[in-house]
Structure 1
């Protein structure tokens, strides 16, 4: 079993946080929820442990990667209310144990779909990017969100999306779908934290001319 390598762990923005203790990273994450680098640093620190546990519990590599992403999404939401201050100096061990316990919960409760139904690529959308993409997706207008999911998750063409919407009573052409998708991806990118765009899209937020999110599938469970 080979543990995946995550290039974000080498990014200067993330490497600059590695000297922080678990407690410090957790506190920074809780105090600065609009920034994604602190969760990404936690992910880079503990992803080998989580992946090892998950991989031994899944039947296939595809299901393992999907469960790995679901587990980190669960961890993201749990970190917001986690408190290590009562552990009297054992913060590292305590934090690691809590990560392991959260992983065990996800493994035990997992009801994974068959491989052919999973639309997830770990290399394209690592868990931190997935988490923030999903939150950004929730901010899109419903109609635009639907089109973005059709295009990003299921790889539907503009013609197929237009045909589906027309069957639902919407008067829309493939050209209009193309325009809506362009606007949708721009809104999606704008809703991402600046540091997540820098780390995962490889661009500085102040110098954006076109969207790179077309290469990143928007995922849904």
Structure 2
């Protein structure tokens, strides 16, 4: 797990601006076809990582949660932490491997008729995709791999992106809030009401008793 240095957060907005300008330029130069390949590759990597992460988390564990002595809940939450870390690791690895198909798409995009249309709308598509990338970044920052990921979001322009993207992110809202709660538990911080409610719902859905949940969360109240 990684803690993002607090002193670096002030530079992240500048990084976002530079990233946007680079994406806009590359989108125009590369055209829409290659960007579509990137989008498909990203979602394939997300889906594959989600499917494979449970199996990998059983083989190699990154974190063992000590918690407060409730072994069953500690193990359950610890398993979730390791699965989320493996999800991020596998996503990055699979995404890199999928870059191998890029040369074929590049060849097609350079064909005369396709090239003209491709370049014309590539820049516009790049702006849309930049927003998607920022929302994926917010999702990844909610995982336990970045212990203070929520602080990173709240102290940069990602906070505004998160607010604007709520109609989209609402589908994974419970997932993000629950992961924020797990980050707080790892850092042994007090859980805000929203995070506590998300944890109670999650643990209840997984058949833990009210007494077990109360004893587990008592440390973080």
TM-score, normalised by the number of residues in structure 2: 0.27
TM (normalized to structure 1)? 0.27
